[in-house]
Structures are given as C-alpha cells and as structure tokens.
Amino acid sequence: MRKIFIIVIVAVLFSIPSASAQFLGQLTAAPTLHKGDALLGAYLGVYDDAFSIFGQFRYGIARYFDLGFKMGMIDLNPGYGESNSGLTVGGDIKYWFMEQRSGDPLDVSVGVGTEYLKISDFSIFTLGGNIIASYQIKYHQGKSVTPYGRLNIRWERASFKGSWHWYGGWDAGSSSDSDLDVALALGAELKLSSGIYLVGELEIDDNVGFVGGVNYNIF
C-alpha cells in the first residue's frame, strides 16, 4: 500500500504541465460541517511568482454536504518584470463518504470546485473535481492535529490580451488556451481550542506555494 501511494504521488508530480495554476487551495480536512454550521477563514499565500491574501466562508447545507466560497486579492508576476494585482474567487461543494469515527481508516470526501483569477489583461478559469483524505490525531483534551491531502483534476482556460510572457514564451495579441491539469495539496489542521484551527498547506501545482491561516467555526 505504501509503495502504491508513493508511485501515485510521483506520477501526479510528473504529470503537472507548465501552464497556469490554482491559488486558493483546500484549507479544510475531509469532514464536512454539520448542517447549519458555518466557518470563516483568513489566509496568506506565497507562491513562486505570486502573493495572495484571501478569506473563506463555508456552510453545512445537509448531512455530509457543505459548500465554500473564497475571495481575495493576488499579486502575480507574469514574467516580464512587472507585477499585476487582481481579484481571485472560488467555490466548491464537498461530500463526506468515509468516516474515521465510524471505523473507516480515513476520512474521505469528494467534491467539485471552480476558481477564477483576473489580473490586468490575463485571466484563468478552472473547473474540476477533488478527492480529499485526512486522519485526525487527538493529543490532548479537546485538541487535535489533522494531516490531509487533496488530489485535484481540473479543466482550465487561460485568456490573454496584449503581450504576456507566461511559463515558456511570449504571447502577443488576444488568445486563449485550454488544458487539463493535475495538482496536489498537502496540509494539516491544528485545533487550538473549541472552534479555532490553525491551517497550513503546501500547493504542488504549476505555481508551487504555501498557504497558511486560521479557521474559526462561528456557529
């Protein structure tokens, strides 16, 4: 089983082409929120060629289902010596179907998500599926750490206007490019007290980065 896991990780890393990227990450473990519960999050992201600050709102819509919305600002260096700031937004819905508390070896969920980034004359739109696995480790009264991973397979479309230098060459005039991409996120949630979590996540994508922040269950 361990050898198979290593082979899958290596295959994912070598299958990632040089194109665009997602920047908003996963930032929650596999379990979903209970129906009627809500979460707020605030994060800071540092990547190869970008810097972002953004927030998240998640809400439990039914048993084993929740949905999330992320929005923030990003500063991206397109590769020709000038950084550009813009807006990035995203949303997802997640279904939790394997439960550690019910005897399953891991918590596992699947989901569908989208992300949109717009800076100056460049934009990226992505739509894809996620599979998230996590394992909660309790170490003190009411406290725990939960390592997790997310495999993301997505379709994405990048649109250019004017002259851009983006991962491999100049592109003059208006054009667009569609691609199928694969990415991996590895992170952990640290529960400090009731409703407060620190989270950190390594983004293994076309634009490798790290996102850190805090999640808070508001009700």
* Residue-range domain boundaries for the chain: 2-217
Mean pLDDT of the chain: 86
Q: Which of 13-17, 145-149, 205-209 is the least confident region?
A: 13-17
Q: Which of 46-50, 77-81, 120-124, 150-154 is the least confident region?
A: 77-81
Q: Assign domain 2-217 one CATH number from 3.40.109.10, 1.50.10.10, 3.90.330.10, 2.40.160.20.
A: 2.40.160.20
Give me the pLDDT at residue 176, please. Answer: 83
Give me the pLDDT at residue 83, please. Answer: 62
To the nearest 10°, the Cα dihedral for 126, 201, 140, 101? 30
Q: What is the arithmetic mean of pLDDT over 21-32?
A: 94
Find the helix or strand (DSSP H, E) in which 7 lies. Answer: helix 2-15
C-alpha angle 119-125-25 in degrees, rounded to nearest 5:
90
pLDDT of residue 174 exceeding 80, the answer is no
Paired tokens of 124: 């990226």
